[in-house]
Amino acid sequence: MADDQDILTMPRDQIAELQVQKLKRTLVHCYEDIDFYHKSFDEAGFDPYAFNSLDDLRKAPFVTKQDLRDGYPYQMVGVPRSKVREIHMSSGTTGVATVAAYTQSDLDNWADCFARSIEYADGGPDDVAQIAYGYGLFTGGLGAHYGMLRSGATVIPTSAGNTERQIRILRQMGTTILACTPSYAMHIADTAIGMGVDPAKDFHLRAGIHGAEAFSDNFRRELERKLDYKVLDIYGLTETGGPGLAVECLEQDGLHVAEDHFYVEVIDPATGKNLPDGEWGELVVTTLDREASPVVRYRTRDVTRILPGSCACGRTHRRIDRLHGRTDDMLIIRGVNVFPSQIENVMKAFDQVSSWYQIELTTKNYLDVVTLKAEVNPSFDIDDIGQIEGLQRRIQAALKAALSVGVRVKLVEPQSIPRSTGKAKRVIDLRKE
Ligand code: DLL
């Protein structure tokens, strides 16, 4: 990986120069080969042929998920169908999916980006990687698969689900790297413990490559304690080509963006204006060398910030902070903006509750009611009504003090909140029903 090493530690001015060169090609490719961009650039008065510096990109219009949906199935694809090797799709929870198409070169770059997570974990051919992200249209399974193969690791493609078999394979095959969502990793750990297995001793894990959903630092520490390994966060989304856009290194101090393949900006979601490094806002992504499904200034709706300064690992690619969640997951509780992760952060001060929670939204007398259901730890006696009520009141008061919102707290039995083999469902919105 000598070339990759050079790219990862390239001086900042050379990275910027590389990005400008790649952007020139991408912008012209989009303008000439995808009608949508031709029209939207013209309407915004943006001339892709005049593009000459990274700041010029700020004049380009944004592209949204709705734009990509409107282009379903092939209108946003910029190469002839015969050049498309693979297609993935977003889950399309609200109906129409978005399409991510890959040429061979796109697949190669994707593998490189994901393989960095193994490299950052100091992994390689000595590793046995168990991939428990779902295989299929979701980009987690196959993205991890291509990346792990590229890194030289031995791949065991278990896909998500069949947890007891996952545990058997983890024990018997000497798995050293587990790739799956963080909530599924926790479910695997808890199930193993319930079966009398001690994952810290009976598994051989070294690293977990966990992403596809937000998880708190507390959740990470609990996973690391139970599985005795190091958890590295990985981020990406279908619309920009799947996991590997940004990956944490062993410093666990932000996620390095693959800046040779992506250009990122952070904007104020209300005004669309660029924010300085260090300020939280919406992440906007431009792909630098995707052929089949390039995106220019894609509004991810994910909330993060660009971390100022450099990483102790010595790599020069800029880092984004761990993601708070999506602007569309943000709850507006009686006028106050709250992310589920902020509620989770308040809960972590209470040893008696576990990391499993769900936020239920209902309406009473035309007002939103937010109920936090949180599982108590098995050592806590759920039948002791006096204790439970006292604890509920204390958590409620802490939420009020930290977030200025009134949230009803309902403590529930261990294992009573449904587990998922993919992304955990943290918010249940019952208001429209
Ligand atoms: O979740 C891609 C992926 C697969 C990433 C495996 C990492 C590992 P989508 O299903 O399109 O793609 O969902 C993308 O998931 O916009 C974020 O809101 C969220 N997300 C992804 N990674 C993280 C992360 C995949 N590390 C959406 N932290 C994104 C927080 C994440 N949220």
pLDDT tens sequence across 303-322: 999 999 999 999 999 999 99
Q: Give Cβ neighbours of residue 294 (< 8 Å, ≥ 6 apart).
A: 26, 29, 30, 34, 78, 287
Can you give the pLDDT at residue 92? 64
Tell me, using a 6 A CB cutoff, whether residue 61 lines ligand 1: no
Q: What is the distance in A from the centroid of ligand 1 to the CA of 212?
A: 3
265 lines ligand 1 (CB under 6 A): no
133 Cα nearest atom in ligand 1: 6
Distance 316 CA to ligand 1 centre (A): 23
Please give the distance, rounded to the nearest whole angstrom, from the Cα atom of residue 235 to the centre of ligand 1: 5
More confident call, 93 vs 169: 169
Residue 128 in contact with residue 175, Cβ under 8 Å?
yes
Q: At what angle do helices 182-194 and 217-227 cross, to 10 degrees?
A: 40
Q: How far is the CA of 244 from the centre of ligand 1 (A)?
A: 10
Which of 203, 212, 250 is CA-nearest to residue 234? 212
Mean pLDDT, the chain, whole residue set: 94
- Look up the pTM and report it: 0.92
Check if 140 has its Cβ closer than 6 Å to any atom of ligand 1: yes
Residue 1 clears pLDDT 60, i.e. is over it = no
Place of tokens 């944490």: 248
Interval 174-202 mean pLDDT: 96
Tell me the average pLDDT across 314-334: 86
Q: Is omega for the bond preceding 73 within 30 degrees of 0, making it cis?
A: yes
- The response to whether residue 235 sits with its C-beta less than 6 Å from ligand 1 reads yes
Nearest-CA residue for atom 16 of ligand 1: 237
Q: What is the mean pLDDT of residues 222-243?
A: 97
**CA separation for the pair 276, 96 (Å, rounded):** 34
What integer is the mean pLDDT of 12-25? 98
> Is the CB of 8 inside a 6 Å radius of any atom of ligand 1?
no
Mutate to test the pocket of ligand 1, among 93, 213, 295 (most ligand atoms within 8 A of CB): 213
Cβ of 423 less than 6 Å from ligand 1: no
**What pLDDT is attached to residue 343?**
87
Asked if pLDDT for residue 2 goes beyond 70, the answer is no
**Ligand 1: does its nearest atom lie under 6 Å from the Cβ of 422?**
no
| Gap from CA of 421 to ligand 1 centroid (Å) | 14
- The rounded radius of gyration (Å) of the Cα atoms in the chain is 22
139 lines ligand 1 (CB under 6 A): yes
User: Does the beta carbon of 242 sit less than 6 angstroms from any atom of ligand 1?
Assistant: yes
Report the C-alpha gap between 414 and 260 in whole angstroms: 45
Q: How distant, in Å, are the alpha carbons of 20, 385, 388, 391 from that of 380?
A: 57, 11, 9, 11
